[in-house]
Amino acid sequence: MIYLDLLIGFLKVGMFSFGGAYGAIPLIRDVVLHYGWMDEDALVDMIAISESTPGPIMVNLATYVGCNKAGVLGGILATLAVVSPAFLFIILLVTLINGLAGKKRIKAAFNGIKPCIIGIILAMGVSMVGKNCISPIISEKDILPTMLTIVLAAVFFGYHALFKKKMSPIILIITAAIAGLIVYGI
């Protein structure tokens, strides 16, 4: 049943998403592809939209997947599912923080989780950029994505080096959209 799948799928995401929004994206990708709710391209579009609309990125993604698959009720279920672990953890912590016996064990588990999530995010970034950059050259169809990748990366990292300040993701997304319009036509 779709409602139950949405609930369980996004509870899992909410429970294991350490390291903020970018930590949640690989988990959401797993869940969405596992159930066949979206293809990879649609998911990436949605990441960009979630990044450019207000609110926490993983909540926006959950809302979209839920609404898209099962209407308003699906959206509400997926949204509540993704936030409830965060909610419950905080309530548990403020009510029993002093009586929490396994504190040391939890900290130890974290020492394993933190680098692992960074590795997962890095793998996702590398494979996404690699897919855009290398596969068009190998298949010799279209070198435009490769060139776009190089230009956008140069703009983004160049801005950081030049102004000692990160370019806002929204500005990069808008720049990329304009570049897409120029390259692929209106």
Partner 1 sequence: MIITLFLTFAKIGLFTFGGGYAMISLIESICVEQKRWITHEQMMKITVVAESTPGPIAINCATYIGYKQKGIAGAVAATLGVVTPSFIIIYLISKFLENFLEIQGIVSGFKGIRIAVGILILDAAIGMIKKMKKKTIPCIILGCSFVIMLLNNIINLGISSILLLVIAAIAGMIISGVSEMSAVKGGADK
| Residues between 16 and 45 that touch partner 1 (CB under 8 A) | 16-22, 24-27, 30, 34, 41, 44-45
148 binds partner 1 (CB under 8 A): yes
Site for partner 1 in 86-105 (CB under 8 A): 86-87, 89-91, 93-94, 104-105
Burial class for 167, CB neighbours closer than 10 Å (0-12, 13-18, 19+): middle
State yes or no: residue 77 binds partner 1 (CB under 8 A): no
| C-beta closer to partner 1: residue 1 or 135 | 135
Kind plus residue range of the DSSP H or E element containing 183? helix 169-184
CB of 88 to partner 1, least distance (A): 9
Q: How far is the CB of 126 from partner 1 (least distance, A)?
A: 6
Site for partner 1 (CB under 8 A): which residue of 1, 4, 36, 55?
55
Could you give the C-alpha distances from 107 to 19, 97, 112, 114, in angstroms and in order? 15, 14, 9, 10
Q: Please, which of residues 113-142 interact with partner 1 by CB under 8 A?
A: 113-129, 131-132
CB 37 within 8 A of CB 69: yes
End-to-end CA distance of the chain: 40
Of 3, 35, 159, 179, which one interacts with partner 1 (CB under 8 A)? 179
* Beta carbons of 83 and 59 less than 8 angstroms apart: yes
> Do residues 145 and 47 lie in contact, with contact meaning Cβ atoms separated by under 8 Å?
no
Q: Which is nearer to partner 1, 102 or 140 (CB)?
A: 102
For residues 77 and 68, what is the distance between their CA atoms, to the nearest angstrom? 12
Nearer CB in complex with partner 1: 2/30: 30
